[in-house]
Each structure stands twice: as C-alpha cells, then as structure tokens.
Amino acid sequence: MKLKGNWWNILLLLMVFMLPLALVGCTGGEQNNNEPQYDSIVENFTFEKTTDNSGYIVVSYDGNSDYVSIPEKYENLPIKEVGEKAFYQLNIYKVVIPNSVEVIGVDAFSGCTNLVELKLPTNLKKIEINAFYNCSRITNVIVPNSVTEICSAAFASCRRLNTIIIGSGVTAIGDAAFTYCQMLKTVVIDSATIFSGLSGQMVYGELINSATTIKVASTITAPAPEFLSSNYTETSVGDYRIFTKWA
C-alpha cells in the first residue's frame, strides 16, 4: 500500500507541473486561430506579363484560403493589374491588393459574395466593367484620388454598399456602375467634374439613386447643380458641403 501511495503522490505532482503548460498551449492555440493567415504564396497565383513587359497581371488565384494577399512583385517586377475574372465567384472573405496595381480588370472580383472588406490600392487608375459586380457584402468603398474611370456596372448589385467616397481624380463613371445598390445612402464627392455633372438620379450609373446624404469637398466652390438645389438642402460642416435630401 505504501508503494501505491507513493505512485499516487508522484502522479499528483506531475499533474501540478503539467497543468500550467497545457493551459499555455491552449491559450496560444486560441490566439493563433483568431488571427487570419493571408495566403500570399506566389505558387498559388497564375501570372502573365503586361503587353509592355513592365510588370505582371494576376490571371487567377488557385489557392483555397478565405484571406488572400496578392503579392506586390513577381520575378522582381511589379504586379500592375488584376486580370479578367482572376477571382471570379471565389469564396474569399478579405483581399489585400498591393499599391502597385493600376487596373482592376473586367469581372475581376465579380460574384465574390462573401467579400466583406475592400481597400483599393493608392495607385489604381481604372476600375473595369463588372469588376465588383454582385459583391453583395461590401458596405464601404473608398475610390482613391488616382482613379480616373469607374466603368459600367463596376459596383452593380453591391446590395449592402452603404457609403462610397469618389476621389478627386475621377472624371468618368459608366452606365449602371451603381445600379441595384439600394442601401447606398451616403455619397462623398471629391471630384469637381463629377459634382458639376449631377443633373439627375440616373446620371453617373445611378450613383445617387437612393442617396439621402451627399458630401462635397468644400474646395469645390462651384454652385450646386439644379438637381441638387431642387431636391436637397445644403449646409456646411467642416471640410464638406452637406446636401441632405428633402423628406
């Protein structure tokens, strides 16, 4: 019995020493699980050179991660474009697009219905046709000042899109670019060209079709187009002219 008791004491001591280690291991595991691992493995992407050989185009993503980070370079050249249907209807949750990207191609992210977070690169110049068509979970978009053109249906059917900021460089917005964006209530306009052309709800791809608040940079001093002055009340708050739709 004495031997049995000694073994029992030894077992208890082992349990006392091992328990803290087990708890540390569990805690560390939980922390790792809460931090998404973005897939940026070059081998999981297909690339092709741009026509001028100055960089690469992302042709497709062949991995299976919900979190994707597009590499900034491939073979020492910058990634300059997300190509046509590169992420078409993929089950991705978040994507990081490098600032080297200048064009987001036709249908590049079309049908990515689980995509919830979108940050456009600071050197982006053009958002092509249907680029984010039916990305129905995106709620906010900031179009950087570098962008000059938002093509037709670029954000069509982004049904949860609530707020969009149109950068100062935008000079053209294609037909139906924002059609079926029923929850788009706040539109911020930093582009004098776009502001001066607001002549009706269908103008600029239904950008203000359902908007109740339009914010315009105070640096844009031109008089409000008749459509705004007839349907919205203008006030001034900080760096913006605020147009609130009449009830």
Are 165 and 231 in the same domain? yes
pLDDT digits (tens, 9 = 90+) for 26-71: 444 444 556 678 999 999 999 999 999 999 999 999 999 999 999 9
125 Cβ contact list (under 8 Å, min separation 6): 102, 103, 146, 147, 148, 149
Task: Return the higher-pLDDT residue of 240 and 16.
Answer: 240
Q: Binning pLDDT at 50, 70 and 90, where does residue 86 land?
A: very high
Residue 50 sits in the same domain as residue 26: no
Same-domain pairing of 25 and 48:
no
Residues 27, 111, single domain; the answer is: no
- Give the pTM: 0.84
What pLDDT does 42 receive? 93
Q: How many distinct structural domains can be found in the chain? A: 2
Estimate to the nearest angstrom the gap between the alpha carbon of 118 and the chain centroid.
1
Range of the domain at 26: 1-35
Same domain flag for 119 and 239: yes
For residue 92, give the nearest of 109, 71, 77 by alpha carbon.
109
pLDDT of residue 23: 46
Is a pLDDT exceeding 70 seen at residue 190?
yes
Question: Between the CA atoms of 132, 135, 138 and 141, what dihedral angle is there, to the nearest 10 degrees?
Answer: 10
Statement to judge: residues 23 and 74 lie in one domain: no
Q: Which DSSP letter does residue 192 get?
A: H
pLDDT for 29 equals: 43
Residues 159 and 86 in one domain: yes
Q: What is the mean pLDDT of residues 95-122?
A: 97
Note whether 54 and 153 are same-domain residues: yes
pLDDT band at 13 (very low <50, low <70, confident <90, very high): low
Residue 199 has pLDDT above 90, yes or no: no
Task: Give DSSP secondary structure letters for 3-52.
Answer: HHHHHHHHHHHHHHHHHHHHHHHHHHHHHHHHS---B--GGGEEEEE-TT
Considering only 4-18, 56-70, 178-192, which range has the smallest mean pLDDT?
Answer: 4-18
Q: Residue 1's pLDDT is what?
A: 46
* Same domain flag for 97 and 190: yes
Query: 89 and 121: one domain?
Result: yes
Q: Are residues 64 and 12 in the same domain?
A: no
pLDDT of residue 27: 44
Q: How confident is the model at residue 160 (pLDDT cuts 50, 70, 90)?
A: very high
